[in-house]
Structure 1
Amino acid sequence: MAAGGAPAKAVEPQPHPPKEQLPNISYCITSPPPWPEAILLGFQHYLVMLGTIVIIPSSLVPQMGGGNEEKAKVIQTLLFVAGLNTLLQSLFGSRLPAVIGGSYTFVPTTISIILAGRFSDTSDPVERFKRIMRAIQGSLIVASTLQIVLGFSGLWRNVTRFLSPLSVVPLVSLVGFGLYEFGFPGVAKCVEIGLPQLILVVFVSQYMPHVIKSGKHVFDRFAVIFTVVIVWIYAHLLTVGGAYNGKAQKTQLSCRTDRAGLIDAAPWIRVPYPFQWGAPSFDAGEAFAMMMASFVALVESTGAFIAVSRYASATPMPPSILSRGVGWQGVAILLSGLFGTVNGSSVSVKCWSFSLNTSWQPKGCPNLSWIYDFLLHSWKIRSRLCFNSSTHYCCFVLPILCLCWCWRS
């Protein structure tokens, strides 16, 4: 009781205040960019995401027996489902600026399904492709229940209290290190294009802002767009100029700009739909293996959600919101299985790290992660930050040495 007999006033709990915007970050959820710049940044993020969307079907569909037509349809389906899942996550899930796309976590399990002996008796390549696709669909549908149950039941929020940057960062880093085999060897397949693009993206992002001081973050923020346009024009000129005439078939496939076959095989207008490859088939062993991949993607995406919320200057992410985002990520995997994307879904770590790199750079320190971001959009290298000048130059030299070593071997 207070003085005078009046009851004490109950203290109402205050909502979590938003985090302060980090230094040198231009945009966050409370300070969005202007619409013209937002459209350009969105297109640049699309380029980053497109690398994953293209390379996963390009490596898996031929092993399944599909040709360029099937590959184009799978890429279209992946793009459609990724956009749908991103909208669902931003509207109903965590409501953070996180992109939901294809994940390499599911690739080893998918390859094990492709190599299963029960598909070897099918002689027709297209029929074999459809049988394997239906098996992958069934595995993804079953695997989605893990994240749906853990997320919407609230069980995962009891687990997240044990997750800290000390435990999440090593996991995401190890996943990134495992992707290096897709990067430097892939770029070294056509070193006359890969090496110039590596040098150009560093020059445009790190040195052009000091050469042309316009007062606006044009070159450092849109370096990927500039580099992609210049390098593709350069690669096309090499192709039409006959630089690869008479070269080995593998070199022509890696370097020429007219050998993908996807544009000719893709229809002008096509809307993917569920069960477009037929009714899914289910196998207990394959479903269990896919559930393990789903759990790994779950932990990785949890760390990505936490990082996105901090760099977006949002409130500290409540466990309930994190659990809800995980539940909707399970819905994303379910949609991937229903539509037949040959791959599961998770938070695109490279897209939020790319968002960080386009808006933040340690003061007085060159941002080396542009090297990895450009290679990431073309050959899937996880981006990194270098925290001092000596590290920057070491990391600039080491990729070039790696490329030369891969080229010689």
Structure 2
Amino acid sequence: MSEQEENGAKKGWILYPIGSKPKWPLAILLGLQQYLTMFGATVLIPFIIGGAIGMPPDKLALLISTMFFASGICTLIQQSPLGNRLPIIQGGTFSFLGPAFAIIGMVASKKLTGVDVWQIQMQELAAAVMVASLVEIVLGYTGILGKIKNIVSPIVIGPTIAMIGLALYSIGAPWMAANWIISLITIIALILYSQVFSLKSKVFMMFPVLLAILTGWVAALIGTMTGMIDPSNAAYLKPDLVASAPWFSFAPMMPFKWGFPDFGSATLWAGVFGMLAGYLASMVESIGDYYACARISEAPVPTERMISRGLGAEGLGCLVAGILQTGNGTTSYSENIGSIGLTRVASRRVIIAGAILMLIIPICGKFGASLATIPKPVVGAMFVGLFGMIASVGLSNLQMVNLNNSRNLFIVGLAFFCGLSFPYHFSPMLSAAAVPIAWGEAGSFVNILGNICQALLTTGMFVTAFIAIILDNFLPGATKAERGLEAWEKDATEETWIAAEKEWDSMEEGQVRVV
């Protein structure tokens, strides 16, 4: 087969490329599927934050709805001319949890009386996220962060993207283990729908994730109704959750719902510096996401300008999340990148349709509560499938690298191992034997520096990227071609993207690529 034929065969693998226009009813359904893949993380972050501050249950439900609403707004910002317009969903980030816990602890140490401490903690979190977001906005839109592309090669991006998939390895099987029968039904359904049935039917080709979730959901419903699943089991569906939810509530879209932050607070600025560490880790992860999203969508390599706009848009999204007081920020979601690989749908229209749904669903309390009944074992099975796909996408970047060069193999192996090992040592969330950094008294400069180091060293993507960047740019022994840079530089141009956009624009409404 000729090189042109090989490229043509590869190019036709995606059914709906980035600029394609699926008909709106189909786009809405596909968009819902995309959001269902990141449902676990979107719900998990509010549960972690709400639990840490002792938030009342009814307020926790509102916090979850607010996270979904903020995700919709931030995704639309990324899809606008202000963003990079890659088909990537924006949502909460685990990178902010370390700094968030430090802020929560500093507020708790004041031993406030006569007030709801959890509200003060939410206000401080919102203020820190908002102030720190200005740094990402400036670094992004001035083009400073886009320059990082000059020191990043496939040797760096490959392990970094793979770490995005591997970072949550500790969640997959433990969540599945909450009910092995339901989780195995789900993951077997995902395998069959995406890899076997998809060869015969376009329905299974485009909706394997949604159909697998529905399969696990129905299995859990049957088990609940027949009494085979005990109410104490994680797979048990709670119908009262839907019954008690209001039909409509506009509270999720209200700004400063927990009270206006005190920007003169002494602990605020200590929290801002700690939060900047979370932003740094998040930005490194997002750059890896941009490359992964473009590669799995069969699009050209992201340009320097696209990276800058993407990070600037994420900064704007964090500002919005702070105003809405989600207790978190926003970043690019890895889950939907894996979903693109399984569904072969990379259309911007699908992402926009999903984002619009997220502006409506939180207002309709019943529908949001219905989504909240997705069993934990089902979500765990989805994590295994989707994050496994992301890890393999990361590894695929290494095909541009000369892996017969021992210098390249050394860098990749060391970066991988450090990215897995360092967070396990420093993060109490990963290991009971972890040794978190606790320098100085709360609020002191040394303590702030410790919080920054803690946030960075507990983020596997940052550790992997940092080690790989340093070694790849300073160790001798490999040419640009052997590092994979020549292949990227040839593809990462504005002209390449203009040509790709013209090809996508030529597709008619509802047209599907021949695969």
1:354 and 1:373 in contact (8 A); partners too:
no
Q: Distance in 2 between matches of 1:228 and 1:241?
A: 20
Which residue matches 1:350? 335
Which residue matches 2:213? 228
Mark the CA change 1:131 to 1:268 in structure 2 (over 3 Å): closer, same or farther.
same
Q: Could you tell me which of 172, 187, 191 is aligned with 2:180? A: 191
Q: Could you tell me which of 90, 105, 108 is aligned with 1:118? A: 108
Amino acid of the structure 2 residue aligned with 1:276: K
Amino acid of the structure 1 residue aligned with 2:214: V
Q: Distance in 1 between matches of 2:329 and 2:291?
A: 21
Amino acid of the structure 2 residue aligned with 1:190: N
Which residue matches 1:274? 255
Shift of 1:195: 2.4
Shift of 1:311: 4.3
Amino acid of the structure 2 residue aligned with 1:328: A
Shift of 1:312: 4.0
Q: Distance in 2 between matches of 1:260 and 1:171?
A: 42
Q: Distance in 2 between matches of 1:85 and 1:326?
A: 12
1:141 and 1:337 in contact (8 A); partners too:
yes
Shift of 1:196: 2.1
TM-score, structure 2 as length reference = 0.61
Q: Distance in 2 between matches of 1:161 and 1:264?
A: 54
Count the aligned residue pairs: 348
Amino acid of the structure 1 residue aligned with 2:224: T
Which residue matches 1:398? none
Q: Could you tell me which of 276, 279, 282 is aligned with 1:294? A: 279
Q: 1:331-360 CA distances to partner (integer Å, 9 max, x unpaired)?
A: 111111111112211111221231122118
Q: Distance in 2 between matches of 1:226 and 1:277?
A: 38
Q: Which 5+ residue runs of structure 1 have no aligned equivalent?
A: 1-18, 361-371, 388-409
Give the alignment's Cα RMSD to 1 decimal: 3.0
Mark the CA change 1:285 to 1:173 in structure 2 (over 3 Å): closer, same or farther.
farther
1:68 and 1:262 in contact (8 A); partners too:
no
Percent identity between the two aligned chains: 28
Q: Could you tell me which of 146, 150, 163 is aligned with 2:139? A: 150
Which residue matches 1:51? 40
1:137 and 1:337 in contact (8 A); partners too:
yes
1:6-405 matched pairs, under 5 angstroms? 22-91=11-80, 92-116=82-106, 118=108, 121=111, 127-209=116-198, 213=200, 216-245=201-230, 251-252=232-233, 254-258=234-238, 261=241, 264-265=244-245, 268-271=248-251, 272-281=253-262, 282=265, 283-314=268-299, 316-359=301-344, 375=380, 377=382, 382-384=387-389
TM-score, structure 1 as length reference = 0.76
Mark the CA change 1:262 to 1:116 in structure 2 (over 3 Å): closer, same or farther.
farther
Q: Distance in 1 between matches of 2:53 and 2:135?
A: 26
Give the secondary-structure state (helix, strand or coil) at the position aligned to 2:205: coil
Mark the CA change 1:127 to 1:183 in structure 2 (over 3 Å): closer, same or farther.
farther
Shift of 1:104: 1.7
Q: 1:257-286 CA distances to partner (integer Å, 9 max, x unpaired)?
A: 117847625562224222111122452222
Q: 1:11-53 CA distances to partner (integer Å, 9 max, x unpaired)?
A: xxxxxxxx98724222213433343432221111021122221
Q: Distance in 1 between matches of 2:104 and 2:247?
A: 26
Shift of 1:172: 3.0
Q: Distance in 2 between matches of 1:238 and 1:311?
A: 37
Q: Distance in 1 between matches of 2:280 and 2:307?
A: 15
Shift of 1:143: 1.9
Mark the CA change 1:344 to 1:289 in structure 2 (over 3 Å): closer, same or farther.
same
